[in-house]
């Protein structure tokens, strides 16, 4: 094993940091305050080549490994996680499912616009009564000639209303349990497809979330991405998405650490900078230990994924640790800032609110622990009452 980035990766990481600090950091508070999508950041991401960097070359992508997208996401998430989610969507989100499992026509139709224009593709899994219990989903796709008639509601969909395409987990017909679940690609302007109200969230306010509503929505049969019984493929793809989730937490934690270091050097108490007090030094050291441990776990999972998908064990461990690290580190950074950290004049308030959502999204940390324990013991444990 080695823990060194290549020269090319180091240059990519440096570029991402410079662009994030110069272009995104000065405006990050505005997206949060106004609850606006950072649309003006997309042309910048396209110009520097961050969109599609880990997608196949033959469809306009950069052909690089997943870890390269993770490196970019981490640097952007330090200052603006909402913009980092755009990078995620353009590399490791549903578009990666299309790249691996889609038909040739689907790849030709959907991947180039992501790389060239930053077209959004959102994933929709959760429902009002099916979150962690995903196999309880009731959004149904019934065949009707060369179409499927879709009815149901999807909840907490990132990018709802902005994305042009949606990867929708559905139940085909009346097939019960996991065996009936597959996925369709549904385009935004499809008749019978609409959006619910925009959610008012605690954090990540620059990325809209809303319901998807399907009322006799007619989706062409050629838009099937996964047929019934292929849920395992969707879950493979979700592993890398969880790795990206952990990277957003990592970036926030790193950003909070940097803010705390800077402030501790500037803040004078008792006639000297507070960084000279051992209590502050130990707080900073503990923060650095946690951030670095999360980084190594995430880099391991992403590196081992290569151009494919990550290990469920490595991803679950990395996500859980990074999610919880981010909250603790950001909270400690607020403590170091004292009363100033509790104000909205400093970015820690926003960072803590942004950090809080990731242990819920993409599979809660409790569900991840269930998965880890199941793999350790070599047994499946049902959460249902017998």
The DSSP secondary structure of 166-200, one letter per residue, reads: EEEEEEETT--SGGGEEEEEEETT-TTEEE-PPP-
- Residue 182 belongs to domain with CATH number: 2.40.110.10
Among 195, 228, 261, residue at a domain's last position: 228
Residue 269, H or E segment: strand 268-269
Segments forming the whole domain that contains residue 170: 122-228
Q: Is 237:100 a contact under the CB 8 Å cutoff?
A: yes
Nearest to 310 by CA among 230, 227, 218, 243: 243
- Per the structure, the count of domains in the chain is 3
Asked if the structure places residue 2 within a domain, the reply is no
- Residue 108 belongs to domain with CATH number: 1.10.540.10
Residues whose CB is less than 8 angstroms from the CB of residue 299 and which lie 6 or more positions away in sequence, other chains included: 3, 67, 70
CA distance 228 to 4: 42
Cα angle at 85 between 56 and 52, to 5 degrees? Answer: 15
pLDDT of residue 1: 60
Strand partners of residue 219: 148
Task: Kindly state whether residues 108 and 136 are assigned to the same domain.
Answer: no
Asked if the structure places residue 385 within a domain, the reply is no
Nearest to 249 by CA among 11, 49, 77, 55: 77
Strand partners of residue 272: 269
Tens of pLDDT, residue by residue, the chain (386 residues): 667 899 999 999 999 999 999 999 999 999 999 999 999 999 999 999 999 999 999 999 999 999 999 999 999 999 999 999 999 999 999 999 999 999 999 999 999 999 999 999 999 999 998 888 888 899 999 999 999 999 999 999 999 999 999 999 999 988 888 889 999 999 999 999 999 999 999 999 999 999 999 999 999 999 999 998 887 887 777 788 899 999 999 999 999 999 999 999 999 999 999 999 999 999 999 999 999 999 999 999 999 887 777 889 999 999 999 999 999 999 999 999 999 999 999 999 999 999 999 999 989 999 999 999 999 999 988 877 76
Q: Is 211:195 a contact under the CB 8 Å cutoff?
A: yes
Task: Kindly state whether residues 81 and 159 are assigned to the same domain.
Answer: no
Asked if the structure places residue 369 within a domain, the reply is yes
pLDDT of residue 59: 97
Asked if the structure places residue 183 within a domain, the reply is yes
Task: Kindly state whether residues 240 and 367 are assigned to the same domain.
Answer: yes
Residue 213, H or E segment: strand 209-220
Task: Kindly state whether residues 115 and 146 are assigned to the same domain.
Answer: no
Task: Kindly state whether residues 211 and 269 are assigned to the same domain.
Answer: no
- Residue 317 belongs to domain with CATH number: 1.20.140.10
| Other Cβ atoms closer than 10 A to 75 | 26
Task: Kindly state whether residues 146 and 186 are assigned to the same domain.
Answer: yes
Asked if the structure places residue 348 within a domain, the reply is yes
Asked if the structure places residue 383 within a domain, the reply is no
CA distance 89 to 121: 7
């Amino acid at each position: 094993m080695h823990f060194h980035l290549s020269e090319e990766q180091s240059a990519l990481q440096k570029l991402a940091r410079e662009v994030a600090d110069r272009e995104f950091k000065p405006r990050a508070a505005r997206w949060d305050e106004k609850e606006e999508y950072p649309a003006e950041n997309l042309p910048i991401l396209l110009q520097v080549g961050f969109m599609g960097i880990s997608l196949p070359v033959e469809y306009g992508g950069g052909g690089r490994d997943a870890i390269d997208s993770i490196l970019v996401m981490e640097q952007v998430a330090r200052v603006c996680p909402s913009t980092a989610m755009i990078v995620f969507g353009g590399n490791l989100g549903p578009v990666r499912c299309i790249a691996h499992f889609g038909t040739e026509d689907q790849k030709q139709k959907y991947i180039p616009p992501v790389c060239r224009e930053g077209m959004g593709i959102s994933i929709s899994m959760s429902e009002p009564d099916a979150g962690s219990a995903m196999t309880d989903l009731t959004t149904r796709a019934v065949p009707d000639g060369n179409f499927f008639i879709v009815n149901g509601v999807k909840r907490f969909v990132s990018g709802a209303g902005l994305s042009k395409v949606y990867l929708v987990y559905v139940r085909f017909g009346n097939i019960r349990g996991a065996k009936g679940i597959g996925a369709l690609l549904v385009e935004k302007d499809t008749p019978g497809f609409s959006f619910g109200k925009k959610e008012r969230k605690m954090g990540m306010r620059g990325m809209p979330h809303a319901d998807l509503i399907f009322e006799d929505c007619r989706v062409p049969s050629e838009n099937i991405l996964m047929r019934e019984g292929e849920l395992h493929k969707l879950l493979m793809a979700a592993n890398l998405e969880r790795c990206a989730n952990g990277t957003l937490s990592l970036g926030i934690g790193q950003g909070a650490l940097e803010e705390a270091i800077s402030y501790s050097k500037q803040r004078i108490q008792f006639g000297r900078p507070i960084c000279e007090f051992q209590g502050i030094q130990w707080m900073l050291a503990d923060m650095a230990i946690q951030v670095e441990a999360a980084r190594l776990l995430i880099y391991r999972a992403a590196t081992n994924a290569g151009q494919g998908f990550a290990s469920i064990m490595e991803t679950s461990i990395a996500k859980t640790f990074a999610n919880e690290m981010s909250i603790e580190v950001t909270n400690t950074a607020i403590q170091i800032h004292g009363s100033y950290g509790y104000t909205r004049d400093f970015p820690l308030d926003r960072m803590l609110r942004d950090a809080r959502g990731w242990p819920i999204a993409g599979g809660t940390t409790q569900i991840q622990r269930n998965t880890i324990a199941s793999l350790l013991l070599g047994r499946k444990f049902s959460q249902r009452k017998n």
